[in-house]
Structures are given as C-alpha cells and as structure tokens.
Amino acid sequence: MRIFWLAGLAGTGKTSIAVTLCRMLGDNPDVIFGGSFFCSRTANVNKLMDARCILPTLAATLAAISPAFATALAAELNADTSAALNPISTQIGPLLQRPLAAMESSALPVVFVIDALDECSDETEVKALLQAISTLTCKVKFKFIVTSRPETHINTSPISSANHNSILRLHTIDKAQVTEDIHLYINDAFSKDPLDGEWYSESDVDSLAARADGLFIFASTVVTYVLDTESVKSRVTRLRTAIHAMKDSQVATGPLDAVYEFVITRASNIAKVEAEELAATQLVLACILRAKMPLSINALAEILGWVPDDLRDTLRRLRSVVHVPEETEQPGLRTVHASFGDYLFERAATELRIIPALGDEALARGCLIIMGKRLHFNISQSRSSFEPNSLTKPDSLTYSLEYACLQWVYHLTDLSQPWEMERDIDDIFRSQLLFWLEVMSVLGQVQRAGAMLNLAGTLVRYHVT
C-alpha cells in the first residue's frame, strides 16, 4: 500500500490532521519525512493551486534532508534543466523515482504528505499526479499521505482503489466518536488559554461539541471566535452567542461561510456549468434541505421527474457538502451540517442564495404528481378486504410513493400560495382517496389521514373531500 488517502467532506478536519501528521513525522526517528505540500485556493498563491508544483517541491525538500537523494537529483537536473517544468507524467522519473533509487541503502521509509489536493485548479493535472504516484516503483520504501475532498475527478482516479491503497473516509466514521474527538479538541483549546476567572464549563463544551454535529471546522471556528478576546466578560458573551445564536453572528460564521462559498461557487462555476445546470443544482439543494425525511437518489429523481443518473451527476459536484448514499435506493441524501442550509438560505451571496419555497414547491408538486400516477386499486396487494393490510410493504409501494403520501401536505404549508395546487389536490382525492388511505394503512399512519386532509382544506379554497 503506497498511498494512504484521507478523504473527507468539507470541514471534517483533513488539513488539521495533515498538519499534525507532518509534525509527528518530523519528530519520528523511524521515518524520513520527505516533505509536504499544502494546496490552497484561499491563499491566493498560484503555485499552491498548481499540481505541477507538487513533485518539484517534494523533491527539493527531500534533497535538503538526504545527501544521497540530493546528489542523484542534481545529476538529473544537470541532464535536463527543464525537468521541473515538464508535464507531471515526465516529472516523476527525474525528480523522484531515479533519485529515490540512490537511497536504497537506507532502511527507513520515506513519507510524503499532500494536503487538499482537490483545491488544485486543473483537474487534468491532478489526475496526472495521482496516476504518476500510484504507478511509481522503487526499491526504497515510501508512502504518500494524500488528503482531499471526494471530488469526482479524484474519486474516479487510481487513488480510490482499495486493493492498492489504504483509504479512510472521515465522513463515514461513527458520529459519536467524532463528537468525542471534537469535545477533546474544544476542551484542550479552552484549557490552554486560561484567564483570571471561570468563563466556561464542561456543559458549555458539551453543547459546542454537540452543535458541531461532526463538523470539525465548525468547532475550530467557534474556538477561534471565542478565544479572540482577552476578557472574561467578552469570552462569556461570545461563548453564549456561539452556543445559542451563532448562525445570527456574521463575525462568528465568516470562516465557515468562506468554506461553503468556495464549495458552492466551484460547483456553480459559470464557465463550466450552463445556466440551466446552475438552476438545477440550486433546485436539488433546495429539495434536499427542505425534505421532511432523508430521500434516496431514486426517490428525489422521481419527485423531480429526472433520470436518476442525471441527478447523481448533479450531486457529484456537491459531494463535499452533501452526503450521497452509494446505492441509488438508499435514503440518506443530506447536507453534512445544518449550517450549510443556514448559509444558503440566509447569508450566501445573492447569486448563490436559495429561496426555501423553491424546494417546497418542487417537492409538493412532485408528491402530487407521483400520487396521481401511482395510486391504484389494491395497492397493498391484499387477498381479501376482510384481512388486514400486509405488514410487508408491497413492491409497488416505493420509497418515493411512501414519501409522497406522508409528506405532501406539509410542503404545502410552507408555500405562500398553496391554493395554486388546489386543482391537482382535488383531482387526486376525488378519485383516489381510498387508494391513498390504503397506503397510509399499510404504513401504519392511517390515524394521520384525517388531520392531513383537514390541514389541506385550510390551505386551499375549500375542503378536499
């Protein structure tokens, strides 16, 4: 296993882990820390966004550590003075592979760290780098530790092969374990910066760790925000703000918003995405954020009238902030953290901001369309009206139909003009009311049916009967 890939959604702590690993590797006498490269778009330094700069940087760092490597590298550069400027596929030989061979007498493994590879601007160059390091062969023991978001161009590269590489996906780690780690981080940061007076309690740390909901960047943002003042009174005030009303404080949420803005702007890059695709991306996000239950790819696709593969293509650009189940029928579409929804609905730039009603209208209309098409006689497949509905859901009762029957009216309540769907509601429930009740019975929710119809009646011009 020559590559260890640490994959994680936006804000899960990949860079913090990479920094810690670099510190530990530098202090470890049992390895040779060959160097690191921290890619970054926010630093406004072109070379930090250029994958072609990674191998030359690592080579220069290792040359400063190993005389044998330095001598071999110098020979390569004398033979080809433009080696560092060549395409990545031809950089790997003179800059790493052949100079590393000069270190074969060393028993210590060489370790390189590349952080935030997804932040490089040219996806083709990133693929070339991953191809180069995944096929690198040498008698010297070496390992690359790579961190990135699970972007499509990385997720489909050789690095994603678990047969040849070690992979850890941070966003799949048990939430309780992550919360415990965040709790330790917050408590450690607060305890290392004491003041003359008690300004936080264990319950405060518990609250912040719980509010972070597995998102390390949220916790680090809170810590920075709270500690950025030197009086007990100010810290107590900021701590209360962070716990109870952080989303309303632009000062507190600035760093977190910067992460979200980067992700959504990249997903909505006008240079790469047509206006229709941008609108589709916003619609999908609005539906995921406003859904009353986690949807599957198949269910959301049917509600929107899309082909599931088209929906998955749209979601690929959002994998950094949206959890996408591997199976198309598995419910679980959700944003990584609730604060992403707050950002899109309340604080995002005008061109990126999403109106909540966009999702509710699409979901309400989609639910009604599904019920109109899919509700039919004996949907429960009962053999006799004297027998109770089967406890096992019939194949015809898909998750999308289940969602539609259970949630249609609740999306109507969030619309400013629900009566615009009055005719659709009337058409369905005049002819298919009993079929809908049968579904509610199969789901064990028939007791909700009357209240749902009454609620619909208050939203439209007359009661649906």
User: What is the full DSSP assignment across 257-283?
Assistant: HHHHHHHHHHHT-TTTS-HHHHHHHHH
H/E run at residue 88: helix 88-92
Those residues whose C-beta lies under 8 Å from the C-beta of residue 161, and which sit 6 or more positions away, are 134
Q: Range with the lowest mean pLDDT among 25-29, 55-59, 214-218, 352-356? A: 214-218
H/E run at residue 67: helix 67-79
Tell me if 28 sits within 8 A of 167, measured CB to CB. no
pLDDT of residue 463: 43
Mean pLDDT of 376-388: 73
Tell me if 7 sits within 8 A of 15, measured CB to CB. no
Tally of CA atoms within 13 A in the half-sphere of 123 that contains its CB: 12
Provide the 3-class DSSP secondary structure of residue 228: coil
Amino acid type, 287:
C
32 φ, ψ to 5°?
-105, 115
User: Bridge partners of 243?
Assistant: none
> What does the chain come to in residues?
465
In this predicted structure, the answer to whether residue 257 has a pLDDT above a threshold of 90 is: no
Tell me if 297 sits within 8 A of 324, measured CB to CB. yes
16 φ, ψ to 5°?
-60, -40
Mean pLDDT of 436-458: 92
* Residues 127-176 pLDDT 10s: 999 999 999 988 899 999 999 998 888 988 989 888 888 999 988 888 89
Strands in 18-160 per DSSP E = 32-38, 110-115, 142-148
Domains located in the chain, CATH noted: 3-171 (3.40.50.300), 175-248 (no CATH), 272-354 (1.10.10), 359-459 (no CATH)
Mean pLDDT of 15-39: 96
Report the predicted TM-score, pTM, of the whole model to 2 decimal places.
0.69
Mean pLDDT of the chain: 88
Report d(CA 333, CA 52) in Å as an integer.
35
